[in-house]
Structure 1
Amino acid sequence: MHVIEIDQFLKNKNEFPVLDTRSPGEYESGHMPGAINLPLFNNDQRAIIGTIYKEEGREKAIKAGLKLIGPKLVDFIEIAESLGSKKLLIHCWRGGMRSSSLAWLLELYGFDIHVLKGGYKSYRNYLLSFFDQPLKLKIVAGTTGSMKTRLLQEMEKNGAQIVDLEGLAHHQGSAFGSHMEEMQPTSEQFQNDILEKFLSFSLEQPIWLEDESFIIGKAHLIAPLYQLMQESPRFHIVVPKEQRLEVLVKGYGSLPKDKLIQSTHDIAKKLGKENCELAIGHIENGEMSQAASIILGYYDKAYGKGLNKKSKTIVREIPMSLKNLSEVAASLINVE
């Protein structure tokens, strides 16, 4: 059995299977992308063992744990065999008994086992320290409906390194964004997925992101990354309001009316009672463009206030439309 540091673990994780021995609940809260959950204990068993450890001591906890996992030993081996690799990477929460126990069993059977020193906790510490370093971030900014995500996707097709934060968060970043995507990941998983994306990049080249709030839906960004984004150069995309309305109606207009009305109610205080009632009336009548125009008024005002605070970071204002989106994407890729 080899105990390895997080740097070496990450270098190997895309080549060899990673086994996460934590409980299903721990795994669901956040895990390394691609890791396979092979828990020694289920959620209830983990709680029982933890209680015994605290109240009766380590030795009794170990005996109780062995009684629980004994019948599952063959299952662990067969699951490991099904992965098709003799070399396996294993971790638990802090590099303790759970990973060591499974490592002992699998190594006894003939696997080449590499255990993460410090466990998943060391991975999370690595995540935070990773974003404490200088990174060549470039930010695409623009009002709601400015096709920023489409622009980034076009840039990616042409070789740019981009991080689609809204895509990773499964949320479009507004009161209406939750209806467009599947269930959001936990903040912890969202952050792990962001790190995974960054680890695939060359840090010598620019990395492009969309300007975002610290919280996207219910998922929180990584604090040091968010701070870096606030200080990074911004390219302000300016799209005519008529086209932005067209984009929004096309993207959101087909959603069920009750969901659109609920989302409008959610921002009622910010819209004002009169505007909220007008917008809802337009939605009920199928007048989506008129409703979007009212709602856009609020978002444009809020965006303007936020952008003013970051005005010193704006290096260029770029007019864009559906016709020249590809040209803008090409020009941004070549920005120094």
Structure 2
Amino acid sequence: MRPDTDNYQRLFLQDIPLIDTRAPVEFIRGAFEHAVNMPLMTDAERHRVGIRYKEAGQEAAIALGRELVGPALQAERTRFWVDFARQHPEGYLYCFRGGLRSRITQDWMARAGVHYPYIKGGYKAMRRFLLGVVARLGGGIPLILVSGRTGTGKTRLLGRIRRSLDLEGLANHRGSSFGTMAESQPTPINFENRIAVRLLKLARGDESSPVFVEGEGRLVGSLTVPDPLWINMQRSPALVLEADMEQRVDIGISDYVVDLLNRVRLLEPGEAGFERFAERHRQSLYRIRRRLGLESYDEAMAMLEAALAAHRDHDDLEGYRPFIRLLLERYYDPMYDYQFSRRQGVVLARGDADALTGWLQHRGVALDR
């Protein structure tokens, strides 16, 4: 019989399967990627029990819970937990604090012939542990930024570096004003949790070698880079990736047109998917109209509409070139130059993708092809 655990580091390093017995509303707000929500109570049941607890105490709340989750529901929910436990015998269960809901779940499973250990302290303790990881490693692990103007291919270079922290990937956003992906972003809590787990894995056995991270702004879409990591990034050295304008326009078309439309159409096929893609770009352009300037905004919107029409009617992508070039020259480049001038860290090297790849290889940085 396996004991209950408070070895949170092992749980995250090994991605051990977990049953989260909290209500769905709690799970949506913040959870872990290797956890599955199998609630003891639904949102409505939890709400009613919570009111009873405040009005009449724990015993009355437990009695109402038993009334709401009768024998049939108890059997059904227990069956789901038991099936999970048999598929994942190495796993654990938890509730918010590792208290009553965990013990009830354990008891019902035991009656069905399965002992399944729980996590001491529950979600709250695991979340506190991960916040400590962000503070310690995010603020202290050596970093090297992969910096450069928009469209130079920073994400592609970073993706080849094995010891890297991909904030855009963790945030499900490309980081720019037009960086919204087809799928929604994680909640702020889940973004922090993802960063913490990635840092924990990167630091396993080696906290002294640098971790490479893209030189982002403070915001990645609607999400904020945690304070300790952001402060660390601001003082860290950087590699500056360079590319000529036509290369940057090519990357813009590949990432913000071809790839984005493919992602949108996986969720919404056909003409409806194209219109959703088009409207995203219209809205993104509208959001930057003040910084871009109203005259440039009108010019850019006309270019965008012409490009969308050529794309939709003739599958012609060339119309995006003047639109992307205008945005790079009048919006992205001035903003990047200003932000980069305020950095504290030194520049280790500048060059195109081949030059920086050579720099990395010369220093023994592990790369994927």
Instruction: Give the TM-score category using the shorter length.
Output: 0.7 to 0.9
Determine the C-alpha separation between the residues in 1 that align with 2:90 and 2:58.
Answer: 30
Determine the C-alpha separation between the residues in 1 that align with 2:125 and 2:218.
Answer: 24
Q: Which residue of 2 aligns with 1:146?
A: 152
Matched, 1:206 2:206: no
Identity %: 31
Q: Is the 8 A contact 1:146 1:237 kept in 2?
A: yes
Note the alpha carbon deviations across 1:224-261, whole angstroms, 9 max, x for none. Answer: 22222223222222222332122113322455444323
Q: Which residue of 2 aligns with 1:33?
A: 33
Q: Which runs of 5+ in 1 are unaligned?
A: none
| CA RMSD between the two structures | 2.4
Determine the C-alpha separation between the residues in 2 that align with 1:53 and 1:263.
Answer: 47
Give the CA deviation at 1:122.
1.2
Q: In structure 2, give the amino acid aligned to 1:288.
A: Y
Give the CA deviation at 1:331.
4.6
Determine the C-alpha separation between the residues in 1 that align with 2:331 and 2:88.
Answer: 55
Q: Which residue of 1 aligns with 2:315?
A: none
Q: Which runs of 5+ in 2 are unaligned?
A: 262-276, 308-318
Q: Which residue of 1 aligns with 2:311?
A: none
Determine the C-alpha separation between the residues in 2 that align with 1:279 and 1:56.
Answer: 63
Q: Which residue of 1 aligns with 2:333?
A: 300
Note the alpha carbon deviations across 1:60-108, whole angstroms, 9 max, x for none. Answer: 1010112223333322332233232445411111122111211222234
Give secondary structure in 2 for the equivalent of 1:213: coil
Q: In structure 2, give the amino acid aligned to 1:318.
A: R
Determine the C-alpha separation between the residues in 1 that align with 2:198 and 2:13.
Answer: 16
Equivalent position to 2:234, from 225, 230, 234? 230
Give secondary structure in 2 for the equivalent of 1:313: coil
Give the CA deviation at 1:189.
1.5
TM-score by length of 2: 0.81
Which segment drifts farther, 200-209 or 57-66? 200-209
User: Which has a greater percent of strand?
Assistant: 1
Q: Is the 8 A contact 2:146 2:214 kept in 1?
A: yes
Determine the C-alpha separation between the residues in 2 that align with 1:334 and 1:263.
Answer: 37
Q: Is the 8 A contact 2:4 2:118 kept in 1?
A: yes
Give the CA deviation at 1:151.
0.1
Equivalent position to 2:361, from 310, 313, 330? 330
Determine the C-alpha separation between the residues in 1 that align with 2:9 and 2:278.
Answer: 51
Q: Is the 8 A contact 1:87 1:112 kept in 2?
A: no
Q: Which residue of 2 aligns with 1:277?
A: 298
Q: Is the 8 A contact 2:285 2:297 kept in 1?
A: yes
Q: Which residue of 1 aligns with 2:254?
A: 250
Shift in CA distance, 299/145, structure 1 to aligned 2, threshold 3 Å: same
TM-score by length of 1: 0.88
Q: In structure 1, give the amino acid aligned to 2:335.
A: A
Give the CA deviation at 1:9.
5.7
Q: In structure 1, give the amino acid aligned to 2:94.
A: H
Determine the C-alpha separation between the residues in 1 that align with 2:38 and 2:278.
Answer: 43
Q: Which residue of 1 aligns with 2:321?
A: 289
1:262-273 correspondence runs (5 A): 262-273=283-294
Q: Which residue of 2 aligns with 1:181?
A: 182
Q: Is the 8 A contact 2:13 2:201 kept in 1?
A: no
How many residue pairs match? The answer is 327
Give secondary structure in 2 for the equivalent of 1:114: coil
